[in-house]
Each structure stands twice: as C-alpha cells, then as structure tokens.
Structure 1
Amino acid sequence: MKITIVAGARPNFIKIAPIIKAIQQQQQCNENIHYRLIHTGQHYDKNLSDTFFEELNIPKPDANLEVKSGSQAVQTAAIMVAFEKELQENPTDLVLVVGDVNSTMACAITAKKAHIKVAHVEAGIRSGDITMPEEINRIVTDSISDYYFTTSLWAGENLLKQGALPSQIHFVGNVMIDTLYQNQNKFSKPTFWDTLALQPQNYVVLTLHRPSNVDEENGLITLLQGIESIISDKKIIFPVHPRTKAILGEKTVGLKNIIFVEPQSYLNFMFLIQHSFAVITDSGGITEETTVLGIPCFTMRTSTERPETVSIGTNYLIGTTIHELQKTYSNFITNGLKTHSIPELWDGKTSERIINILMKMPI
C-alpha cells in the first residue's frame, strides 16, 4: 500500500508525527506499507514549520510545494495546482489528510478528482460556525472522503447526518494526544524561562489567532487590556504571530503584564502549557492538550468543534467578551477547577489504530 500524507500547517505536523511512526513500526515488521510525505508550505516560518519536523522526528518531506501565504482562494488554488502535479508524478493508493486547514481541503479535492481514495484524520468535528474558514474546510473534506477517523462518537454522528456510511467511520481517538504522550518527557524550558523568573503556576499562557480577535488594531488592544486587568497577579505569556505583532506596533508598551514572545517550538510551548496556572485562547487544538494535562483553559469563542473538552475536560467556553472572561475566571478562582477527565480513546494509541484499519482496507 502506498500512502501520500499531507501536512501544511503547524497543527498538521503535530498530527502526522505519530502516524508516520506507526507506519514505520509496521515496516519494521516487514508489512507492505509505504508513505510519501508532502509539505504544502502553507506555514513556512521556521518556528511554525521546520522546528516541528526536527523536534518530533518527522522525516524530511519528500516534496515541499512551497505555496506560502495568500488569500484563502489564492492559497487553496496554489496548493491544488502543485498537488495535482505531485500526484501525476508519484502515483499513490491513498491520500491521507489531517485536520481542517486549507491544505486539508485542497489536497482532498485534488485527490478525489484524480480518482484516488482519501482518508480524513480528525473527521466529523463541527463548530456550527460557517463563517470560520476551517468549518468550510471540514465540511467539504468530509463530503468527499472515503475513510473517516474520528476523535469522538459525537464526530461520527455528525458524519452520519452528512451522509457518510457507518462502515466508513472509525472512532479511533486523538492523534494530537499520541504526540503529547510520546514527547512529554522531552518538554523543555523556553530560553526566556529563567530570564523572566517563571515558575510553575505563576503565569498564564495567552494565544490569539482568529481574525475576529487579532486583525483590528483597536479591538485587539482593548481585548489585551481587558485580559491584563483580569489577570493582574500573574505574568501573561503571549506567543504572538509576527503578523499580529505588526498590527499592534508600538502600542504594546502600555501593556505591563503581558509579555510578548516569539512563536514557540512544540516542546517549548507544551512545557509552558504544562506548567501554567491557566490558558486563555481562541484555539481549538490547545483545548485538547490542556484537557489531557489537567490545565484550566478559557476559550474566547462562542462555539467549539471540540465539545468534549468542555463536557468532559478542563475547557470553559466563555464567549468573546471580557465580561464573560471576568465572570468565569473569577468563579474558577473562587471554586477551583471543575470536575474533569480524559475523553475515551485519548490514550496515545490512536495512530496505531488508524494504520491497522487502513492495512485491512481494500484500497
């Protein structure tokens, strides 16, 4: 079996690492399975790309499509053009895509039009917010995939509603958690840890990346000022994307308690998360990691595609206003973290299940 694995952005790299490891384990047992790794180049900053390959022991990609940035349409089109040529020159039995970035959708469409089977890892998750580019990517990818690997039973129900057959859906767990468990003993202090006199639980991690939060200068400043007023007794570590930092410009000088740092490598970032007092974010993936690590997480969104992190895990879905953050955070300070546990099959063995299933498929 020949599998073409696609990765394009930071979350993809974290998800493909254990999948490749599971394939390599099968190869060591003389199983007839081979893979070709394609990096679309959607994320090309070293801290968003190369470092992840190095730290997670991901082999050098067989090809880098080098599409880089652009509008949603420009980037998606560039990926499709380049990936079509890749498939023509390197025939495969299956294209495996992960997550919900532009590379996921673009490569799934290209593969299907070339009559190649598609497997979608992390299929079926839905936020219900069609204004999110990721939601469109999920819906389109799931509408044409052949094999669905889900993180929850709820995701499988979404796929059934969309018309997928039960035989196509495989509840396997969460590959992000495979990577967490496989690398937890390697989490390492970032270079600024000692300089800033950071200690376990004396800081909060902040991440913001959604356009509604970061693309408008005055709104972003107001949001950061509000967060700083609520978290007044702890440092706030904000790994900030260069584009967001450019939007802020010199206005960061008025924020005394928020410390702006460069985007972090996986091992450094996970060290920060593991030892933090809490996390404030608008990300989806981070809520999975905080759930497994038992870290309180306050998600500034009105919807989530990972409801199990709220119903089972440590995540609080609080909306987008400072008032809601203030209310929920204050309740947490008064009453402590809510009762929580780890979702079913988030056990570090998801990638093994995926590859075992694929090897039995009549591809």
Structure 2
Amino acid sequence: MSTFHVPAVDISAYVRGGTPAERAAVAAAVDTACREVGFIQILGHGVAPEVAAGLAGAIDDLFGLPLEVKRRWRRPSWENRGYTPPKSETLALSAGVQSETRMKDFFEAFNVGSSVSDHPGATLVEEHYAENTWPEVEGFRERVDAWRVEAGRVAHTMVEIFEDALGLERGAIGDRAAHPIEVLRMNNYALPEGTEVQLDEHLIGMGEHTDFGIVTILWADRVKGLQVLHGGAWHDVSPADGALLINLGDLTTRLTNEQWLSTLHRVKPPIVAGAIQRRRSAAYFFDGDAEAVVGPLAGFVDERHPRLYADVTVEEHIAAKLAGSRAGVLNPDAGREATRVLAAGA
C-alpha cells in the first residue's frame, strides 16, 4: 500500500508575525516538502472561509451556463484570458510529451489575470497582461477578485518563505515579481450532459504537466482526480478540509538548479458508477515579471551541481509553455520535464 502523502505545513507564523524560531520551523518544513515532494498543503493561510465559498459559488454559476453562452467569452489562445471549451487543450504538449492516442483534455476553464491597467506607469510586455473578459454572471467579478487578492497575498507569503527556506537574501526571488504575470484559472472537470465518451485509460481530464511559474496556489474541492508523480508512480491528492495546495513551478526549478523540482501532475477523470463525476478547482499562477531573467542562482551551481538551465526571460518561458498547451505546438524546451513523464510510463 502506498505511503505517499502531501506534507501539511501551518504557515501562520508568517501570516500573523510569529517569532524567528516559529518562522524558521515553517521554512524548514517547506524546504523538506519541496525537496521531497514538491506539493504542500498549507494551513493557517488566513483566507476566510467565506471568500473560498464565494469563489466556489462563482465557479458553479459560470460553468452551469449552457455551452453556447460560455463560448461568447472565448478569447484567442495567446491572450490566456476568457473561456476555454472542453477538449481544446493538451497540457502534455507543454511538458514536451506527444501522444497520438490521447484525446484533448476534457476540462473547461475560465481565465482572468493581471492587466496593463493594474500597473499604471509600468513598461510591460502587453500580450502577457491582457485586459480581462468578465462574464455576465451576477456577482462573478466581485467574488473572483476577492479570491485573487487573497491568493496573491498567499503567493507573496510563499515567496518569502521560499527565500528563507533556501537561505536566500530577501528579494532574491521576490524582486522578480514587482508586476508579476498572474493568472487565475478556474477549472470544471465535467463533460456536457449527453456527451458520448469511452471511459478507458486514455481519457484524461488534464494531461501531465508542470506549472510554468514560481508558485501555484490551488483551491480544489475534495473530489478525487488530481494526481502527483512521485517515486516513478502517480498518486492521488485531495486537500485537507480548509487547506490550500501549493506546488512549485518551472521558474523555481530553474532558480534552484533542480534542488527543488516543479511537480509533474495531472487530473484523471473522477469516475463513479461508470460516469464522470464533476470536479472543480482554481489555480492561481504566480509567474514573475515578463521581462525578468531567470536562471540558476549562484549558490546552486558548483562542481557537484553543474548548471542545468540557460537564462531565459519569464516571457520566453511562458510563451513556449502556452504554445504547447493552448496552440497545440510541442514544446521543444521541455526536455527535462518530458524525460520525467516518459520515465513514469504516463
């Protein structure tokens, strides 16, 4: 029987201003989790239950609408905003993995994020800060924005913890996120009623992939489906009640020269009594400034740890990843991630 579990860490010492000893204990626990698993459950994050309930209600209200209504809010794939219909993405391509047998991922999604108008006076790579499309759903924007504010706060807190856990000076990571590319992706894992589908091993809710940026703050309901690659096998992950899931992104992997690895994960369809059970999640991607240059930090490169990555801008990295997942172009720069996927027999 598998003994795999996602470590739970109470980060309240960073949220409420704990003692140096309390903060050091949190940082040490996070370091261990990031080196051994790459996924963390955090408690003591300070997000009020009513804010999470508001997000869940907004997700339900949006995805409960007819498909033809939701399609009105579709945007070009490169803008990374608005509605994504079912079976229009293949996340495995972003990780450099091609499979002729796999159907398109069957989740539907809605994306909002930081926009040019959120950063007056800043010189931005505008295609990564597109203005949002807001659906005509009562109270949707207010509920979603309330969650975005809290998720952003948690992301900044996690960056601070990461710096302490890695023994870095304050700002070593955070200074790359003065005006971060920030996307909240709300996901619904269900096919429209009446859709015919073969329930076999090739059916995938969201293909195996790593997240692109620095850190992801994930709210998810407790329906099974999310799986993490660890020790060469896939393991089910469900958050504890009230917990948020934290996973590392590729940029943190590059900064640490793979001392911390971005976590390969996927969503398999939750099937109950021969039918797909609905599952919801919302991933807040904290990706850093578009123009920021990311490569292994000096302290993580030595004779025993040769430099594994060339420098890349956040913009270049995100563009290559999105071209894979949303435009169907195999990512040629994801060789290290692809090797990990293929080694697991995914």
TM-score normalised to structure 2 length: 0.26
Tell me which structure has the larger Cα radius of gyration.
1
Structure possessing the higher relative contact order (Cα contacts under 8 Å, 6 or more residues apart): 2
Give the structure with the higher percent strand.
2
The structure richer in helix per residue is 1
Q: How high is the TM-score relative to the length of structure 1?
A: 0.25
